[in-house]
Structure 1
Amino acid sequence: MALLTGNLIVDGVRLAYRDHGQGEPVVFIHGTPSHSYEWRDVVPHIEVAGFRAVTYDLLGYGLSERPVDRDTSVAAQTDLLGHLLDELGIGRANIVAHDIGGAIGQRFALAHPERVRRLMMIDSVSYDSWPSSTWRKIIDENLDDFMSMSQDAFNDLLSRQLEMTVADESLMTAELLQAYLAPHQSPLGRVSFFEHQVRHYDAKYTEEISDRLGRLTMPVRIMWGERDQWQPLEYAKRLSSHIPGADLVVVPEAGHFLMEDAPERVVREIDDFLTAPPQ
């Protein structure tokens, strides 16, 4: 299913996006190695439930622009989120964020608490949790040599990583695997992956805000796959203990790409969180 429906110029760059539905705005922020495709089985249900859902590919990801001279770090993506909300006329939004999207959500909520109604983080990076050991090895071995990597070698490398994102590895095969590989099936796609994504796998973006998480006062829900191989459950527990009043929902038999392992559960939890009465 193709989720995104158009393009928008935001702060001088092109973002592929979708803006559908009526009601309170909900902004979905994807992770890495991924793009907004990961929300395809979630977003339409939230729209039907009575919300305005905004989904987009981060700069340098998916169908969005891949600039050669623009910062695409978590810090820069956080600033760009503010510009996106301004462009769409959204003063205050609910944020649902996965993986590095969770780092963007944390940083944005701390910098602009008045603009975040609720924050939901799904298998988010945090503290010193990233890059994972397997990605650290890839960075050490491939980051300076990726220009010479063949398409087959790249696909093998990324496929092995993507298979780790689900509890049931049989899910990450055939069409699903190809959908996650699709943005990188060209020399530009391979270069963009390392330059815009992997080069910015750096825990400094979450470590530098970790002592301020206790300042978050909006409702926060943390949802985690119990069998997440990249972001161990201990980080979810740590987040929930440091954020006042945060809910923690742990999903058994699910991994890092919770939206693939348990899409119906993700939809239920988001809907429940968004419709819960104010505390």
Structure 2
Amino acid sequence: MTFLTDHLVVDGVRIACRDRGRGEPVVFLHGTPSHSYEWRDVVPRVEAAGHRTIAYDLLGYGLSERPAHRDTSVAAQTELLERVLDALGVGEVGIVAHDIGGAIGQRFALAHPGRVRRLMVVDTVSYDSWPSPTWRKIIDEELDDHASLSQDAFDALLTRQLRMAVADEAVMTGEVLDAYLAPHRSALGRASFFEHQVRHYDAKYTEEISGELGALTMPVRILWGERDRWQPLDYARRLAADIPGADLVVVPGAGHFVMEDAPERVTREIVDFLAAPVPRTGPE
């Protein structure tokens, strides 16, 4: 169900991870409601193209630890990313980041520009784009009373949301759907979903950096599913206008989980982006 094979203890918490290959290191950050499983069809191909690939489940997600009373907001996950890279001995890195992972990537690149060689954001949250209307309704109606949800009711709720995340709902069935639901198939898993993920759906983490995006000077590519129902394409265009030199690539017929709808196209775009030379900005 997962391609993660290793574990790290970072800042006193256990992180499930995958670190393979040689070459320029690139870290893959997943979104929500998700875990690193979303990259399963992409990361091995990027590794085969000659890159060191690093993927991990965010704290409170997937196979990583779900500690009670631990901050798992975008801001806290950004700080943890620094510690993960330090633990792996990685200095400068490329970042490929989806959904809330994109917010983490943006914040990390602004806070540590010398450590980010290049940045790709994929159907990322930004500005005031999140939570989406359906997630806002769930927050209003379920967040403070989630303990009363049965497993069947929870599975139905999350399945509805996950099927909104793909353009072709047939993709989100069978083993694929089961893999996305698997971390939440217990009382602890359901509680962790609301407390570690949904409770932190808050646009303040992107709104507070919206005026700083012009400071991003590393190469940036924005990859977006044309039919994203959670993060409308207008936000991608706004990001492309605000980030100097950023290029926007729209994937036709793909939804928010663009790597599920079009894994081959996503892989090609990532490999192409990683192959492009990075301009030298310092003295010779």
Report the TM-score range of the alignment, normalised by the length of the smaller protein: over 0.9
1:52-110 deviation digits (Å, cap 9, x = unpaired): 00000000000000000210000000000000000000011000000000000000000
Aligned to 1:91: 91
Aligned to 1:180: 180
1:175-204 deviation digits (Å, cap 9, x = unpaired): 111110000000000000000000000000
Aligned to 2:205: 205
Aligned to 2:219: 219
Aligned to 2:274: 274
1:245 is aligned with what amino acid? G
Aligned to 2:133: 133
Please say which of residues 102-111 and 1-10 is displaced more in the overlay: 1-10
2:156 is aligned with what amino acid? D
1:218-270 deviation digits (Å, cap 9, x = unpaired): 00000000000000000000000000000100011000000000000000000
Shift of 1:2: 2.7
CA distance in 1, matches of 2:152, 2:17: 30
2:7 is aligned with what amino acid? N
Identical residues among aligned pairs (%):
76
Q: Determine if the alignment matches structure 1 residue 61 to structure 2 residue 64.
A: no
1:247 is aligned with what amino acid? D
Correspondences of 1:68-107 after superposition (within 5 Å): 68-107=68-107
Q: Determine if the alignment matches structure 1 residue 111 to structure 2 residue 131.
A: no
CA distance in 2, matches of 1:28, 1:114: 18
Question: Does the 8 Å contact 2:117/2:278 carry over to 1?
Answer: no
Correspondences of 1:24-35 after superposition (within 5 Å): 24-35=24-35
Aligned to 1:239: 239
Q: Determine if the alignment matches structure 1 residue 147 to structure 2 residue 151.
A: no
Structure 1: which 4+ aligned runs deviate by more than 6 Å? none
Aligned to 1:251: 251
CA distance in 1, matches of 2:278, 2:24: 14
CA distance in 2, matches of 1:253, 1:217: 31
1:16 is aligned with what amino acid? A
Shift of 1:278: 2.6
Question: Does the 8 Å contact 2:165/2:228 carry over to 1?
Answer: yes
CA distance in 2, matches of 1:130, 1:206: 9
Question: Does the 8 Å contact 2:94/2:117 carry over to 1?
Answer: yes
RMSD (Å), alpha carbons = 0.6
Shift of 1:150: 0.2
Give SS of 1:7's match. Answer: strand
Q: TM-score, normalised by structure 2?
A: 0.98
CA distance in 2, matches of 1:236, 1:257: 15
Unaligned runs of 5+ in 2: 280-284
